[in-house]
């Protein structure tokens, strides 16, 4: 009987992780589609709330896997030219782009899951706040580092050099603030979903 229960729990866990992976892939694909029809912008990471929820329910390691799913969509959007910014990085240095993109996603998922586990020991809601705040910070920080490394390679210094940097910094900052605000505003809903998910796990 115990073996049956163990298999049932593993199946439920696998199904749950697969559902979160599908949601993350679908949301990032949607963000890519929006970016494709609005070139010159940097896509917003719509996947952060479900990534935080999945990482909180199933742990940091699963969060890392879900983050890699997020990174994989970004990676393929660059390879197939669907996202101008990602395509620029892919065409400049494929290896650095792939490692940086998948690594960024993995880091966001892992840190979100670990932050939740660390702070939820005292209070579950504090854990949700911590994961919701840390996720966009890590995502934006790593993206900014990689993006400006590519920008240094692609653009020669000149009259438009500083302007391009300022414009890029503005778009990245705007995206970061939007992601942060969304995560903070829906944190109570995220907490309730995590609570239900843990009971169903």
Q: Which CATH number is 161's domain given?
A: 1.10.1760.20
pLDDT bin (cut points 50, 70, 90) of residue 148 is confident
In angstroms, the Cα distances linking 136 to 47, 104, 129, 184 are 10, 11, 12, 10
Which pLDDT score, from 0 to 100, does residue 30 have?
92
Q: How many CA atoms lie within 13 A of 61 on its CB side?
A: 0
Q: Which residues contact 49 (CB under 8 A, 6 or more apart)?
A: 132, 182, 183, 186, 190
pLDDT bin (cut points 50, 70, 90) of residue 136 is very high
Rounded average pLDDT over 78-96: 88
Are 85 and 147 contacting, i.e. CB atoms less than 8 angstroms apart? yes
Query: Whole-model pTM?
Result: 0.89
Q: Residue 134: which H helix or E strand, with range? A: helix 124-154
Which two structure tokens, joined as six digits, stand for 143? Answer: 């993206």
Residue 153: Cβ within 10 Å count: 11
Most confidently modeled range among 84-93, 104-113, 171-180, 191-200: 104-113
Q: Provide the number of structural domains found in the chain.
A: 1
184 vs 102, more confident: 102
Are 63 and 110 contacting, i.e. CB atoms less than 8 angstroms apart? yes
pLDDT bin (cut points 50, 70, 90) of residue 169 is confident
In angstroms, rounded to a whole number, what is the distance separating the alpha carbons of residues 82 and 76?
8
Q: Which domain holds residue 10?
A: 2-200
Asked if residue 37 has pLDDT above 50, the reply is yes
Asked if residue 161 has pLDDT above 80, the reply is no
Asked if residue 1 has pLDDT above 60, the reply is no
pLDDT bin (cut points 50, 70, 90) of residue 5 is low
Which pLDDT score, from 0 to 100, does residue 160 have?
46
173 vs 162, more confident: 173
In angstroms, rounded to a whole number, what is the distance separating the alpha carbons of residues 195 and 56?
10
Residues of the chain with pLDDT > 70: what percent? Answer: 87
pLDDT bin (cut points 50, 70, 90) of residue 157 is very low
């Amino acid at each position: 009987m115990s073996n049956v229960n163990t298999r049932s729990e593993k199946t439920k866990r696998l199904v749950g992780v697969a559902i979160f992976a599908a949601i993350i892939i679908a949301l990032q694909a949607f963000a890519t589609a929006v970016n494709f029809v609005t070139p010159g912008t940097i896509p917003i990471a719509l996947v952060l709330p479900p990534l935080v929820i999945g990482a909180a329910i199933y742990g940091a390691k699963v969060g890392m896997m879900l983050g890699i799913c997020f990174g994989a969509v970004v990676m393929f959007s660059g390879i197939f030219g669907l996202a101008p910014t990602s395509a620029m990085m892919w065409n400049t240095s494929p290896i650095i782009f792939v490692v940086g993109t998948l690594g960024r996603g993995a880091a966001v998922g892992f840190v979100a899951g670990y932050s939740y586990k660390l702070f939820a020991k005292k209070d579950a809601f504090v854990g949700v706040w911590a994961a919701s705040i840390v996720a966009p910070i890590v995502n934006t920080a790593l993206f900014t580092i990689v993006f400006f490394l590519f920008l240094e390679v692609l653009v020669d210094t000149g009259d438009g050099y500083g302007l391009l940097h300022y414009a890029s910094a503005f778009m990245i900052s705007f995206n970061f603030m939007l992601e942060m605000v969304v995560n903070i505003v829906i944190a109570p809903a995220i907490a309730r979903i995590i609570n239900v998910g843990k009971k169903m796990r």
